[in-house]
Structures are given as structure tokens and as C-alpha cells.
């Protein structure tokens, strides 16, 4: 069993929002590794980062990615940092992987005042710039398709993603 499509990209790319719409359009289930991790840990992602540290979160994330790729046959979104681990990129090889590309201004606007992203609690604009600069090459490496999300609605983006799904 394998996901029909895996969605990657930085925080604010719209993975959760667009992934949910894509799943609706395909008549299949949406799954988000962040939700799986929170269920396994029994607490929100912010608490995992604060109480257990980022390495503990990344270990849970590796397990969540591997498990979801094995047992989910719908649409899968992975957290924005999942592709940083080469081990996860190796697991993604051979899948249809869509990178939702987003510029700094859009990402900042979308993430806004949301307090759920522990990496963006302080200086969100500077942190997002660092994440985008560091990770853009790995998103491109992991992806088989790149979709530009700038100035487009989640519905328009979902329509484009669906076109790539067999
Ligand atoms: N194309 C878009 N245009 C405007 N706002 C968007 C778009 N995609 C997502 N958003 C909004 O941006 C925020 C972050 O989206 P989300 O799907 O949680 O991103 P991710 O899962 O990639 O971090 C949400 O409030 C969402 O409603
Ligand atoms: O970019 C990251 O390292 C992270 C992104 C988050 O997911 P979203 O990309 O859905 O915000 C979540 O996995 C965690 O806060 C770490
Ligand atoms: Mg998300």
C-alpha cells in the first residue's frame, strides 16, 4: 500500500489545507504525520519540542513517515522538516511527491500569529527565511513535481495537484 500523493514544503506552504482538498477531490483519506505524531506522543507538537526536545520530535517523525508510507493509500502530508533527514528522503523515493513552493512573504502571512509551530515562536519572519533558504534544495531534491502556490487559492492549487495524480 502507498499514498496516491505525498505533499512536502515549508510551514505555511499549505500542505494541510491543500492536502485535505486534494483528498476530497480524489475521494480518499487525508493523513498528516504531525497528527500521527501528536497521537503517538499523547501531546501537542509544541509540548514535544519543549518537554522532550527537537531530536525526540524528529525520531517520532521518522517513525511516523515510515509507517504512513507503508499503510496509507490516500493523500499524505509530512511536516515541513521531515525531508531534512536523508533517511526520510530515501523513504520518499519512488513516490509521487509534490513540493508546494512558497515565497517568504506568503509564508509569513499564512503562518501569521499561529502559535502551533514551535520553530517559529520567536522572530517568525527570520526563522522562516532561514528554513526556506536551507531547505529549498532538499524540497526540490525530494519532489517529483513542484507547484507554485504564490497568490493562488488552496482550491486552485488542489486542482493542479490532482492533475498529477494517476
Ligand atoms: N494558497 C493559500 N492562500 C492563502 N492562505 C493559505 C493558502 N494555503 C494555506 N493557507 C493558510 O495558511 C495557513 C497555513 O496553512 P497550512 O495548510 O497549515 O500549511 P502547512 O501545513 O504547510 O504548514 C492556514 O491558515 C491556511 O488557511
Ligand atoms: O518545519 C518544521 O520543522 C516543522 C513543521 C511543522 O509542520 P508544518 O510544516 O505543517 O507547519 C511541524 O512538523 C513541526 O512544528 C516542525
Ligand atoms: Mg501542516
For the CA of 11, the closest atom of ligand 1 is: 23
pLDDT at position 115 over 80: no
160 Cα to the center of ligand 1, angstroms: 16
State the pTM of this model. Answer: 0.96
pLDDT for res 120? 86
Nearest CA to ligand 2 atom 3: 81
CB 99 within 8 A of CB 146: yes
ipTM over cut 0.90 = yes
Q: Kindly indicate the confidence band of residue 113, based on its pLDDT and cuts at 50, 70 and 90.
A: low
Does residue 3 have a pLDDT over 70? yes
Domains of the chain plus CATH, in order, are: 5-163 (3.40.50.300)
Cell of 108: 509569513
145-148/75-77 β-pairing:
unpaired
Q: What are phi and psi of 161, to 5 degrees?
A: -60, -45
pLDDT at 114: 65
The pLDDT confidence band at residue 101, using thresholds 50, 70 and 90, is: very high
Amino acid at each position: 500500500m502507498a499514498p496516491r500523493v505525498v505533499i512536502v514544503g515549508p510551514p505555511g506552504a499549505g500542505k494541510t489545507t491543500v492536502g485535505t482538498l486534494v483528498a476530497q477531490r480524489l475521494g480518499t483519506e487525508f493523513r498528516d504525520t504531525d497528527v500521527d505524531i501528536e497521537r503517538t506522543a499523547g501531546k501537542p507538537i509544541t509540548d514535544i519540542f519543549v518537554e522532550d526536545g527537537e531530536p525526540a520530535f524528529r525520531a517520532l517523525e521518522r517513525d511516523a513517515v515510515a509507517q504512513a508510507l507503508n499503510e496509507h493509500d490516500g493523500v499524505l502530508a509530512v511536516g515541513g522538516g521531515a525531508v531534512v533527514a536523508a533517511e526520510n528522503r530515501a523513504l520518499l523515493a519512488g513516490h509521487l511527491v509534490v513540493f508546494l513552493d512558497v515565497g517568504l512573504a506568503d509564508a509569513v502571512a499564512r503562518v501569521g500569529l499561529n502559535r502551533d509551530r514551535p520553530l517559529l515562536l520567536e522572530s517568525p519572519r527570520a526563522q522562516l527565511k532561514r528554513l526556506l533558504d536551507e531547505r529549498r534544495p532538499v524540497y526540490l531534491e525530494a519532489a517529483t513535481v513542484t507547484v507554485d502556490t504564490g497568490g493562488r487559492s488552496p482550491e486552485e492549487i488542489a486542482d493542479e495537484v490532482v492533475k498529477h495524480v494517476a
